[in-house]
Amino acid sequence: MSTSKRDEQTEQVIDKTIDETKESTKKILREVGRSLPEVTATFHDYQEQNLQTIREMTKDFLESQQELTKSMKLVAWPGTNNVYTLMFYPWAHPEIVADTYVKSVSNFADTCVSAARLSSQLMQLGFESTRNSMEMARNNARNVSTYVIQSAQSMQEYAAQEKKQPGR
């Protein structure tokens, strides 16, 4: 078999392999594209479930604390109505204790909501980071492809020169 025929067959095998790889890649990407609505729906459902869980937790917690606060106002320890106690320990008055407690409960509920917001933002940040990474990978792949093409062209030029002027 002649060298040119062998080179031609090798080139055909390489072209066929690359074409098959392109088709395989297209097929895989179509499959991934078809699953995107499902992935998006799953993410949305997850977010909705998180929000609903936080709503329920906050509601249950606040209702229990409301009952506790009412009880705290109704049950005062002995001596809280004493003038001496009110003068020197005003923070011990049941209303002040209850109000302070309610503020701390409110802060706790706000913290739960903030945690939910943070969780959502972290997920969005993860998606954004993935998008940026993919964009950088695409740009890097383009650059590598450009370098490979330039190298191949340089090799072709060198081979052509060698054929014209062997052994310079």
d(CA 45, CA 78): 53
pLDDT at 140: 94
Picking from 86, 108, 107, the residue whose alpha carbon sits closest to that of residue 97 is 86
Q: What is the rounded CA–CA span in Å between residue 106 and residue 69?
A: 12
Per-residue pLDDT at 84: 66
Both tokens of 93, joined, read: 């008055």
| Per-residue pLDDT at 49 | 85
Instruction: pLDDT tens for the chain, 168 residues: list them.
Output: 677 888 788 888 888 988 898 898 888 888 888 887 887 888 788 888 888 888 888 888 888 888 877 776 666 655 566 666 667 767 667 777 778 888 888 888 888 888 888 888 888 898 899 889 999 999 999 999 999 999 999 999 998 888 888 765
The residue ranges of every structural domain in the chain are 3-164
